[in-house]
């Protein structure tokens, strides 16, 4: 048996991606992209709507990363952490402590859809968590983050070095949070200033701005009065048509002109005045055209609102591994 040993220069061998050094994880840096917008909300007390079917956040979380190993794989996750152990209420235009916090619902994490990806992928563009939805349904089966209403939370971001999502438990990680992203979860906005701020900055709230469809107190609605009421209103309304005005029968003008010409020619062709031909005698007298006045109907031309169908709701993609927990 002959064994061939082939030696090659290290420079000519293909380059393999270097393994990520776990001791360099402290070099990772995360920046909040829309920090100014978050600060403007934070100064008034940010509120986030939670619903049974899930509601997206506004402002949504968008971050950028730097200091990652270009060839190492990372998984990026986000979860919500309670700020304190209290429940709040809105009273006299400010938030007050209403008691002890309720037991926390099932804890969930949201995994970014691009996970896992190399460090170069994460660093080339900002990471958007627009698809994150908040819900108060403890039996939610769609992977939304479950929160309690009238409690305060803040988002937390985890950058984990892992080749596969199921290895995040053993991979080195680094956690980031931003104080300006703290918010109070509500089912309806409590602070009117927050409502106005969201209308001014949220592109999906343009209908609530000045001049939008929701800014009018009264909309143009179809006339849905009962037939009896509508008939009584028609009877009370004065008729603007003079009583001696009569409508011509529904015959075309060409037919009427032809009939008049035929009658005139018949009258001229009669041998004696006062006598009509046999053909003319069988015809109706000219006055018969105006004998029966037609009933004038008043039609209701009230403006009706046209319902324009909206586009189908976009179903965001969510990984089946949203329920993974980081220990």
Report d(CA 226, CA 268) in Å as an integer: 58
Q: Is the dihedral of CA 66, 69, 70, 76 positive or negative?
A: negative
Given this model, what pLDDT does residue 16 score? 36
pLDDT category of residue 29 using cuts at 50, 70 and 90: very high
In Å, how far are 114, 232, 235, 238 from 300, measured between CA atoms?
Answer: 58, 14, 14, 15
Cα 170 from Cα 80, distance rounded (Å): 21
How confident is the model over 10-32, as a mean pLDDT? Answer: 54
Q: Do 111 and 198 contact (CB within 8 A), yes or no?
A: no
Q: What is the pLDDT of residue 300?
A: 45
Number of other CB atoms surrounding residue 255 within 10 Å: 9
pLDDT per position as a tens digit, 95-127: 999 999 999 998 999 999 999 999 999 999 999
Residue 212 in this model has a pLDDT that exceeds 70: no
Helices (H), 50-179: 119-123
168 vs 6: which has the higher pLDDT:
168
Instruction: Using the CB atoms, write b or e for 95-129: b if 16+ within 10 Å.
Output: beeeeebeeebeebbbbbeebbebbeebbeeebeb
Alpha helices by DSSP H, 153-226:
192-201
Q: Is the pLDDT of residue 167 over 70?
A: yes
Q: What is the helix, strand, coil percentage profile of the chain, to 5?
A: 25, 20, 55
Alpha-carbon span 118 to 168, nearest angstrom: 15
Domains by residue range for the chain, with CATH: 22-202 (2.60.40.820)
Q: Does residue 50 carry a pLDDT above 90?
A: yes
User: Which position has the token pair 């104080």?
Assistant: 179
Confidence at residue 202, expressed as pLDDT on a 0 to 100 scale: 85
What's phi and psi for 262, nearest 5 deg?
A: -65, -40
Mean pLDDT in residue range 214-231:
53
For residue 236, give both structure tokens.
């009370």
- 217 pLDDT tier (thresholds 50, 70, 90): very low
Compute the distance between CA of residue 13 and CA of residue 33 in angstroms, rounded to an integer.
41
Q: What is the pTM of this model?
A: 0.58
Structure tokens at 96: 């007050």
Non-local (6+) Cβ contacts of 317 within 8 A are: 113, 131
Among 13-17, 49-53, 60-64, 203-207, the least confident range: 13-17
Alpha carbons 316 and 260: distance in angstroms, whole number:
75
Report pLDDT for 315.
43
- The closest alpha carbon to 81, from 115, 56, 110, 44, belongs to 110
Question: Which of 142, 111, 132 has its CA nearest to residue 59?
Answer: 132
Structure confidence by residue, pLDDT tens digits, 280-304: 444 444 444 444 444 444 444 344 3
Q: Is the pLDDT of residue 36 over 90?
A: yes
| pLDDT at 166 (0 to 100) | 78
136-141-143-145 Cα dihedral, nearest 10 degrees: 10
What is the pLDDT at residue 168? 81
CA distance 153 to 311: 33
Could you give the CA distance from residue 90 to residue 149 in angstroms, rounded to a whole number? 12
């Amino acid at each position: 048996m002959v064994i061939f040993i082939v030696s090659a220069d290290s420079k000519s061998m293909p380059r393999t991606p270097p393994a990520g050094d776990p001791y360099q994880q402290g070099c990772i840096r995360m920046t909040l992209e829309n920090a100014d917008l978050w600060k403007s909300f934070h100064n008034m007390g940010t509120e986030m709507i939670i619903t049974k079917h899930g509601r997206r956040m506004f402002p949504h979380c968008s971050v950028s990363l730097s200091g990652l190993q270009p060839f190492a794989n990372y998984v990026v996750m986000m979860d919500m952490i309670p700020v304190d152990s209290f429940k709040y209420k809105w009273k006299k235009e400010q938030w007050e402590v209403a008691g002890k916090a309720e037991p926390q619902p099932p804890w969930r994490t949201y995994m970014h859809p691009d996970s896992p990806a190399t460090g170069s992928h994460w660093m080339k563009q900002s990471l958007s968590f627009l698809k994150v939805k908040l819900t108060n349904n403890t039996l939610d089966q769609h992977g939304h983050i479950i929160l309690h209403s009238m409690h305060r939370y803040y988002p937390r971001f985890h950058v984990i070095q892992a080749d596969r999502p199921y290895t995040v438990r053993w991979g080195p990680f680094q956690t980031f949070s931003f104080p300006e992203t703290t918010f109070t979860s509500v089912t309806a906005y409590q602070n009117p200033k927050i409502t106005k701020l969201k209308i001014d900055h949220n592109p999906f709230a343009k209908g609530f701005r000045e001049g939008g469809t929701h800014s009018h107190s009264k909309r143009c609605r179809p006339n849905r009065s009962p037939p009896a009421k509508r008939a009584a209103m028609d009877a009370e309304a004065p008729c603007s048509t003079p009583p001696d005005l009569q409508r011509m029968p529904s015959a075309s003008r060409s037919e009427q002109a032809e009939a008049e010409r035929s009658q005139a020619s018949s009258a001229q062709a009669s041998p004696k005045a006062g006598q009509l031909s046999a053909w003319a005698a069988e015809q109706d007298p000219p006055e018969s055209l105006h004998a029966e006045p037609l009933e004038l109907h008043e039609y209701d031309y009230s403006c009706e609102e046209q319902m324009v169908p909206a586009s189908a709701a976009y179903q965001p993609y969510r990984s089946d591994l949203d329920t993974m927990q980081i220990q």
